[in-house]
Amino acid sequence: MKDSPNDKSRYLCPYCARVFDALEDLKTHVFAEHKDEPLRRPEGLIRLKINGEVHEVQVEPNWTLYQLIHDELGLTGAKMFCDRGACGSCTVIMEGRPILSCMTLAIECDGMEIETVEGIAAKEHPLIESYVKHHCMQCGYCTPGFVVTAKALLDRNPDPSEEEVKDALAGNLCRCGTYPQHPKAVLEAAQVLNARREVKNDA
């Protein structure tokens, strides 16, 4: 695999047979000397930032974003529940907005910045702990979708009312009926975040 970044083999210019150690150097050479771009990004190769990390992935045109992040990248937090945009379990945050990854084509996400529940947990967002504390889950299948939706709410509204929390989460389905616990957890997480912000501002 010549295009693997870890490959130690050397790269041969197809025009003048000059040898390069790094693929990037070969690309620069071909473009500068031969006025060509022989290593064009193939169709379907997309680059996106997920939880702060860059991923370059070759996707099929029919893949959903859910398939890409769940099946290909192994981020299992986005869940397949209703399979048609009715339940919110596959929610991820794209460019700051909560979106349904099962209703979004992966190929359209080139250049996008995406946050999943795994990223939210890795940053120790207080929502995770407050969800555990307030027992906002039974089977847990829909829980990541709620957490992501709530995170997107708190990003744009750091101090929501209980009614605003309910409105934000009204589109997420939970077959176990854990609904009454969620607003408590979200409001508590908002308090924790606001307290953190105050400490930061004071310092």
Partner 1 sequence: MERDKYIPDTFRILGKRGTRRIDGFRKASGTAVYTRDIILPGMLYAKWLTCPYPNAKIISLDTQRAEELPGVRAILRYDDPEVYGRRIPTLQGGEEDILAGYAYFQGQQVGAVVAADTEEIADEALKLLRVTWEKRPFILEAREALEPGAPLTRPEWRPKSNLMPLFFQPTDTFRFGDVEKGFKEADRIIEFKARRRYHGCSDAEPVSGITRWEGECAELWLHHQHPYEHKWMMNMWFGIPMSKVKINAPYNGAMFGGWNWIDYSMVPQYVSALLAKRTRKPVKWIFDRRDDFTFGSLDAMESEFKVGFKEDGTITAVKIKTYFENLSFEAGLHFVENTKIPNVESQTLVAQVNKGPVHAIRCEQLPPAFAAIHVFNHVAAELEMDPIQLALKNDGAEGEDIVKLEDFKRKHGFPLRDSLRECVEAGKKAIGWDEKWHAPGAHKLPNGKMHGMSFIWDHEWDDNRGAGAAGLMIQQDGSVSIIALRSDVGVNAESTYCQIVAEELGMRPEDVFLRQQDDVHLPLMTPDGSCNLTTNGYVMKKVAKRAKKKLLELATTTVHMIERDVPPAFPDMNPEDLDIKDSIIYVKKDPSIKKTVAEVVKDVKGSFMQKHEYGAIQNTTHEPIYAWAWHRQGRLGKEPGRQRLCRQAHFCEVEVDPETGEVEVTKVVNVNDVGKAMSPETVEGQQYGGTYMGIGRNRSEEYIWDPKTGVLLNGNLVDYKFASMRDVGPIETVIVETSLGLGPYGSVGIGEDVATDTTNLLQGAVYNAIGKWVDDGPITPKKVLEALGKA
CB of 36 to partner 1, least distance (A): 34
In the set 4, 6, 9, 62, which binds partner 1 (CB under 8 A)?
A: 62
Burial, 166: exposed, middle or buried (Cβ in 10 Å; 0-12, 13-18, 19+)? Answer: middle
Nearer residue to partner 1 within complex by CB, 176 or 195: 176
Contact code string over 135-174 relative to partner 1, x by CB under 8 A? xxxxxxxxxx--x------------------x--xxxxxx
Minimum distance of partner 1 from residue 93's CB (angstroms):
13
Residue number, 37 or 83, with CB nearest to partner 1? 83
Start-to-end C-alpha separation, the chain: 51
How would you class 8 by CB atoms within 10 Å of its CB: exposed for 0-12, middle for 13-18, buried for 19 or more?
exposed
CB 47 within 8 A of CB 56: yes
Q: Does residue 123 interact with partner 1 by CB under 8 A?
A: no
Residue 53 makes contact with partner 1 by CB under 8 A: no
Task: Report the residue from 44, 105, 110, 179 that binds partner 1 according to the rule CB under 8 A.
Answer: 179
Contact (CB, 8 A) for 131 and 81: no
* Least distance from partner 1 to the Cβ atom of residue 64, Å: 11
DSSP 14-80: TTT--EESSHHHHHHHHHHHH---TTPPPTTEEEEEETTEEEEEE--TT-BHHIIIIIIS--TTS--
Interface contacts to partner 1, rule CB under 8 A: 62, 70-71, 75-84, 86-87, 89, 116-118, 120-121, 127-128, 131-133, 135-144, 147, 166, 169-182
